[in-house]
Each structure stands twice: as C-alpha cells, then as structure tokens.
C-alpha cells in the first residue's frame, strides 16, 4: 500500500509558508478557479456533499472546498496537517486527518467526491496510489485527480539537480531555494507563474521550486497508462486533459 515516504520535505515547506498560496491571502480566486475549472464541478454540486481531499498540504484547496458548503475530510500524510489546521480550522464543515494513503481510517465507498492534486506522482508506486483513492469513492461518485505527464513540455530549470537535491535536508534545500529563486524570476525562468506578479509571484516561485527539487520520488506517467488504469477500475465519463505538465483525470465511478 502507498505510504507517506515520498513527502518528507513537504511538511517542512508548508509549515514554513502555509499562507502563501491561499486565495484568502492573495485576494485572487486562483485556487477556486483552478479547482472548479479542472474538475468540472460546480459549487452547487459540492454543497452538502461529502468530499475526500487527499494530500491537502497547507490547505489551499481545502479552503475552496469548505467555502462551497461541502462536508470536507482533508487528509495529509505529513506535518503540513498542522498548517492546514491553523489556516482552515475555522470551518465547522472540515475534518482533518493525518494518515498515509494506504492507512486511511475511513470507511470505503463513503464519499461523493474525491479530489487529489499534486500527490500520486510523488508516491513510490504511482499506479497503486492512484487506484487506492477509488476505494473511498462511492459508486456514482465523481473524482478529479492529477498526475505529472511523462512528456513534459514545461519543466523547472533546476530539475537536473534533483539527483542531489532530493537527498538534502529540507531546511538546507529550502535556504538554497530562497536564494536562487529571485534570480530565476528575474530571468523569467520559472514556468507557470505568468499570471502572478510581485510578492505573490516570489512566494509561489519558492514553493514551486522546492516542490520540484525536494521529493524523493517524481514519477511522471504517459497518457496510455492513465487510460489503462481508468479502464482497470471501470471508471465512467472519463476525461483526461493536459494542463501544462500535468494530466488532469476526472469522471465518475
């Protein structure tokens, strides 16, 4: 079963910068628009429903889901669950759980929606992680899961350093990233931040760069494998869309 060994540095990152990517901090509906547009869900769909969010980090999508009025169970395998609690503990419709994907203390087939972003390609066994999520989605439930694409058209300029950086202590790597990012931004070398500027761009760039360099595993997948996994699970109404370097898979169980 998938465990949390992929994510040792993520907890450190999100506790250092728990506010940077929240819509309530930036004043922009960045995460709201991203979640609703890529999932195809509406706030009316989510209101009053049960949602399982796995790999919540500091809770930037947790905030969006809670604001729809859904009953949200947000699971995070790292210490970032404490950052999420600090940011979103005000929501009475939120339940926070710290657990690895293979050890969820939750009843199977009990959620109306499953949402997982930026997680499964960091697991040692990406296929097992992907398929495990669907154990918790009820028949007829809807899902949105993304996986990094194997044919990367936009990547991070420092990615070739991963064989070294993924073994560095999180605090050491984070300090190096904070020093490097302003120079990379000046060169417009970090992809995916064209819609941001100023302090918001800087903070997102630090988070993005750390995410590229720190994970123990980074396993992009080809579209043909994702299609096979959805067939194995007999999922319905499946759509697989490319968004920059990610495949977003959505549909119905």
Cα angle 47, 117, 245; round to 5: 130
- 88 lies in the same domain as 177: no
Q: Residue 4: what pLDDT?
A: 47
* Interval 141-169: pLDDT, tens: 999 999 988 865 556 677 777 788 777 88
Q: Contact 119/93 with Cβ under 8 angstroms?
A: no
- 108 lies in the same domain as 21: yes
pLDDT beneath 70: ranges in the chain: 1-20, 151-156, 186-187, 189, 191-198, 214
Cα Rg of the chain, angstroms? 17
- 127 lies in the same domain as 225: yes
Across the strands, what pairs with 86? Answer: none
Q: What is residue 221's DSSP assignment?
A: B
Residue 250 and residue 191: Cα distance in Å, rounded? 24
- 14 lies in the same domain as 132: yes
Distance between start and end Cα atoms, the chain: 21
Contacts for 242 with CB less than 8 Å, ≥ 6 apart? 149, 248
- 50 lies in the same domain as 144: yes
Q: What is residue 150's DSSP assignment?
A: S
User: In Å, how far from its chain's centre is CA 20?
Assistant: 15
Nearest to 16 by CA among 168, 167, 174, 172: 174
Using alpha carbons, list the distances in angstroms from residue 223 to 156, 245, 247: 21, 12, 8
- 138 lies in the same domain as 248: yes
Q: Residue 168: what pLDDT?
A: 80
- 75 lies in the same domain as 170: no
* Interval 186-215: pLDDT, tens: 667 676 666 666 677 777 777 777 777 767
Across the strands, what pairs with 252? Answer: 142, 236
- 184 lies in the same domain as 60: no
Q: Residue 173: what pLDDT?
A: 79
Region label for 72, one of left (φ > 0), alpha (ψ between -120 and 50) or beta (otherwise): beta
- 140 lies in the same domain as 205: no
- 118 lies in the same domain as 195: no
Instruction: Give the number of other CB atoms < 10 A from CB of residue 146.
Output: 22
Q: CATH no. for residue 27?
A: 3.40.50.150
- Which residue range forms the structural domain that includes residue 201? 159-213
Q: Residue 151, SS3?
A: coil
- 84 lies in the same domain as 201: no
* Count of structural domains, the chain: 2
Q: Does the global pTM surpass 0.75?
A: yes
- 230 lies in the same domain as 121: yes
Q: What is residue 137's DSSP assignment?
A: E
Contacts for 227 with CB less than 8 Å, ≥ 6 apart? 238, 240
């Amino acid at each position: 079963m998938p465990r949390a060994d992929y994510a040792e540095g993520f907890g450190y990152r999100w506790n250092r910068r728990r506010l940077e990517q929240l819509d309530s901090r930036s004043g922009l509906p960045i995460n709201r628009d991203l979640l609703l547009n890529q999932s195809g869900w509406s706030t009316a769909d989510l209101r009053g429903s049960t949602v399982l969010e796995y790999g919540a980090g500091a809770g930037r999508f947790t905030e969006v889901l809670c604001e729809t009025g859904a009953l949200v169970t947000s699971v995070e395998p790292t210490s970032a669950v404490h950052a999420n609690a600090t940011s979103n503990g005000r929501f009475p419709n939120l339940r926070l759980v710290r657990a690895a994907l293979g050890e969820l203390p939750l009843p199977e087939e009990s959620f109306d929606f499953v949402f997982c972003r930026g997680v499964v390609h960091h697991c040692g066994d990406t296929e097992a992680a992907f398929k495990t999520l669907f154990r918790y989605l009820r028949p007829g439930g809807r899902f949105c899961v993304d996986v990094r694409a194997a044919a990367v058209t936009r990547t991070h300029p420092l990615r070739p350093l991963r064989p070294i950086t993924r073994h560095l202590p999180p605090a050491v790597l984070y300090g190096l990233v904070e020093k490097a990012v302003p120079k990379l931004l000046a060169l417009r070398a970090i992809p995916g931040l064209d819609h941001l500027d100023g302090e918001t761009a800087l903070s997102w760039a630090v988070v993005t760069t750390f995410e590229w360099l720190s994970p123990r595993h980074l396993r992009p997948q080809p579209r043909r494998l994702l299609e096979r996994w959805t067939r194995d699970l007999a999922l319905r109404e499946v759509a697989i869309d490319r968004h920059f370097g990610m495949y977003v898979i959505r549909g119905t169980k």
